[in-house]
Structure formats: structure tokens, C-alpha cells
Amino acid sequence: MNTNDNSLTSRRQFLATAGGVAAASALTGIVLPAAHAQGSDQIQLAIVGCGGRGGGAVVQALSTKGPIKLVAMADAFEDRLKSSFDGISKAMPAQVDVPQDRRFIGYDAYKKAMDCLKPGDIVILTTPPAFRWVHFTYAISKGLNVFMEKPITCDGPSSRRMLKLAEEASAKNLKCGVGLMSRHQKPLQELHARIQNGEIGDIILMRGYRMHGPGGYFESGPKPDNISHLDYQVRRFHSFLWASGGNFSDFYIHIIDHLGWMKNSWPVKAQALGGRHYKHTAEGAPAIDQNFDNYSVEYTFADGSKFFFDGRCMTGAKGIYSSYIHGTKGYAIASRANDCGGPSAIYKGQDASPANLVWQSKDTSNPYQNEWDALVSAIRNNKPYNEVKRGVEASVVTSMGRMAAHTGQEITYDEMLNCEHDFAPNLMTLTSSSPAPLQPDANGLYPIPMPGRLTTKREF
């Protein structure tokens, strides 16, 4: 297993530390409901999407300070819920109170799990991102605080919907965390402050890389007969653009997000390359997923400066998974390994030799725990907290690079946000017998991006 596969595994490990305190107050000038479950310090938690990340998020939530317990679980599939329940119960037995009648299965299970909560409790949304806006809509209607994993949108229509929902959540004084954990990684916070202080001068170039072997559900062989197209696509969501934005959005958003943060702005346009070199599975069957196995994106900021991002899922090719910032006075390593792995560092000039080292971070706290400590602290102290708008922007910038590669066109931020291609229009009313958002051709193959050959308004 290479470093990058290890990182995928470690993100799924159950980790624990602490944070957060109690108290509630109203916001100045507006009468809003208390931020957490009325009449008690006890916060109840439900999870929708009981996979690897969801299990990790539950354990981190249960590791924050103050009384908190898991009371309901929902998943599209029984096997996934069962293994998650077993893992979480083993890791945090005293804080899991999820009897059989609060374990819900199916595409409408999310409603039943959220119905078990009171306003001010927390729901964790860790399904594939396509469902985020559907589940967030219901969470807001129930007055729930939310933690949702990244990416939070995959296409233009859902990005526009999520921006509106973000405003509705704030208007209801709901606290919303988004799993772009780089923002809670202390070395990157310190690096950001130092860059704002001018320690590397003006940023003129940034570079990001995520290149490793096929991970997650990057690649998929032909659908077996004993599963519907819908369930196959949902289970193997990294393979399908409607479900996840593909491996591009799912894997690359972290580095794209934290480099945008370092620059204090988002790129305004992108042009990109990508292709499918090896599209057979290890067993030699045709790979029917929609992903390219390499991508190379040139993002441009409003001031003309550039950010180059390279992504690759290819066994045997060199692995690079890190991010860098070049300024007029110096050079910074943001993530040394993985999505946000320290230590971050600043060097004089452009040469990262030890003699040029100006600063290196020391903090090793877990950003996945930090993001939960911050969210629960905001809930218990009734402080404004909503990361959704920023999460949508990071998702749109990521989709802009992906769409540039898939169409072979230059794509601006505004074009991506306003793109009319709705990848999955029927999700609000989805049932297990609904047609899958992506339909196969007569040979069982799904449409794939064809840069230059399809219209410039759609990726597939």
C-alpha cells in the first residue's frame, strides 16, 4: 500500500481528543431559538451516510466536550449501516444509544433519522455529495445543526441551491460545519497568518499535486446483474460524476481549497488537460467509470497569478501528494504530504534547502477533531458558525477545473456556477426503484467526457 492509500485508510480511522464548552445566548437584535437542544446540555446526534468518513466523524463528534450521544443512523444500504454501527459501538460504547428501531435503511431513511432529533441537535451528512442539498434542505426544516462532508456540490444547479440554503440556515441560527478540515489544521492557520503578514511577499504561483494509485471507487468494472444501476452508481460514487463530481472533485478539493485560502481569493477561470490511458480493470474488463486517469489544470486568479494542479490515479507512476506557494520574497510548503499534512514551512527565496528555512510548524493536533471542537463549541456557546458558503465556493472552483478538462474549454467561475447541466434532477424524490441518473448504452457503457467533441455546456 502506498503513502496515499495509507492516507485514505487513516482518514477512516476512529480518532479521539477534546474541545468545546457550554452556554447559550441570543444574537444581538434578533430573537432566535437556542442553538442546542432545549432544556438540556445533552446534544443528540444522527448520522446519514454510515460509511468510512461518517464513522470517523461520529467518533470525533462524541469526543468533543460536554454530554453528546448518537441516537439515530440512516444509510441507503443495510450492510453499510451494520458495519458502521458495530465499529462506532465498539469505539464509543457509552455514547451510542441506537436501538434497532432508530436504524433506518433506504433513500428516505434520512428523514426518519432526523425525525428522531430535536431542534438544536446535530445531523452528520456523509453520503456521496450529490445528496447534500436534499438532506440539508430537510435538516434546515427540522431546525438541526449540521456537519456535512466535502465536496458539497458537484454541478451548477446544486451549487446555486446550496448557496440559498446556506443563507436560510444562518437566518435560522443553525450552525453548519463543512469537512474541509485543512481550514482547521493549525500549521496551515499559522502559515496563512504569516503569508498575510507578508513573509513570502506577494503570491505569484501555487502548485498542488495529488498523484497516486487508484483509490476509493475511482475505477469500476461492468455492473453485476444482481444490483440496479442506481445502487451500483451510489455504492461506487467516485466513479460517477452525478454522485460525486468524480475522483477530481472528491480527491482534489482539499488542496484546491487550502491554496485558495492562502491566496485569500478564488481563481476566476481554468483551462485543463486530462485523458484516459488505461481503462481496463485489473481483471481486464472495461472500466465503465467516468473518470480520467490524469488531470492537469491551470487556474488563474483575478490578479493574473497562476495555480497549477496535477492529479493522477495510476499504479506504478510517481506518487506526489503535496502543495506549494511561491511568493516574491520566499517559498512555502503548505501540505508536505496528503491533504493537509504538516509540517508547513517557509523558506527564503525559492530554494527549500535547510539553510533557507525561516519557519516550520510544530502543532500536530488532528484537524478532523479540531473541526468538530469548533462546531460543537459554537453550538454550545451560540456563536455564529456557517461554513457552507465557503464550502460551495471551494466545490465550484474544483468543478470548474474538472469541467475545463472534461470539455477541453476554458471555464470561468461564473460559467461553472451558472452551468445549467443538472447532473441528477430527480434526487428529491428518489426511491430504490427510480431510474439511475446515468443510463447505460446498449453495451452497458455509461457516457464519458469527450473533450472537444461534446457540447461545451456539458461534461458528459
Query: Would you say 175 and 379 are in contact if contact means Cβ atoms under 8 Å apart?
Result: yes
Q: Which residue is nearest to ligand NAD (CB)?
A: 51
Nearer to ligand NAD (CB atom), residue 106 or residue 222: 106
- Told to check if 109 binds ligand NAD by CB under 6 A, we report yes
Does position 391 bind ligand NAD by CB under 6 A?
no
Cell 448518537 belongs to residue: 70
Contact 343, 360 (CB under 8 A): yes
**DSSP single-letter state for residue 305:** -
* Contact status, residue 204 vs residue 327, Cβ threshold 8 Å: yes
Q: Is 150 in the site for ligand NAD (CB under 6 A)?
A: yes
Q: For residue 113, state whether it binds ligand NAD (rule: CB under 6 A).
A: no
74 lines the binding site for ligand NAD (CB under 6 A): yes
Selected from 20, 51, 214, 260, the binder of ligand NAD by CB under 6 A is 51
Binding to ligand NAD (CB under 6 A) within 118-147 occurs at 126-129, 131
Q: Does residue 338 belong to the site contacting ligand NAD (CB under 6 A)? A: no
The answer to whether 301 and 307 are in contact (CB under 8 A) is yes
Task: Give 242 or 301: the residue with its C-beta nearer to ligand NAD.
Answer: 242
Nearest distance, CB of residue 443 and ligand NAD, angstroms: 27
Strands ordered across the beta sheet of 176-178: 103-105, 68-75, 43-48, 122-125, 145-148, 176-178
Name the residue among 67, 66, 61 with its Cα closest to residue 20: 66
Nearest distance in Å: CB 455, ligand NAD: 28
| Phi, then psi, of 69 in degrees rounded to 5 | -145, 155
Please identify which residue in 219, 250, 293, 459 interacts with ligand NAD, judged by CB under 6 A. 250
The half-sphere exposure of 339 on its side-chain side, counting CA atoms within 13 A, is 24
**Of the candidate residues 110, 252, 301, 413, the single one contacting ligand NAD (CB under 6 A):** 110
Contact partners, residue 99, CB within 8 Å, separation at least 6: none
Q: Does 178 bind ligand NAD (CB under 6 A)?
A: no
Interacting residues with ligand NAD between 195 and 234 (CB under 6 A): 234
Which segment (24-32, 74-82, 205-213, 313-321) binds ligand NAD by CB under 6 A?
A: 74-82
Q: Which residue, 147 or 301, is less far from ligand NAD as judged by CB?
A: 147
| H or E segment to which residue 148 belongs | strand 145-148
State the nearest-atom distance from the C-beta of 369 to ligand NAD, in Å.
12
Our separate counts of H helices and E strands in the chain read: 13, 15
CA within 13 Å, CB half, 457: 5
**Strand stretches in 192-305, DSSP E:** 203-212, 269-275, 294-300
The smaller minimum CB distance to ligand NAD, of residues 127 and 407, is found at 127
Binding site for ligand NAD (CB under 6 A): 11, 48-54, 74-77, 80, 107, 109-110, 126-129, 131, 149-150, 179, 181, 234, 250, 339
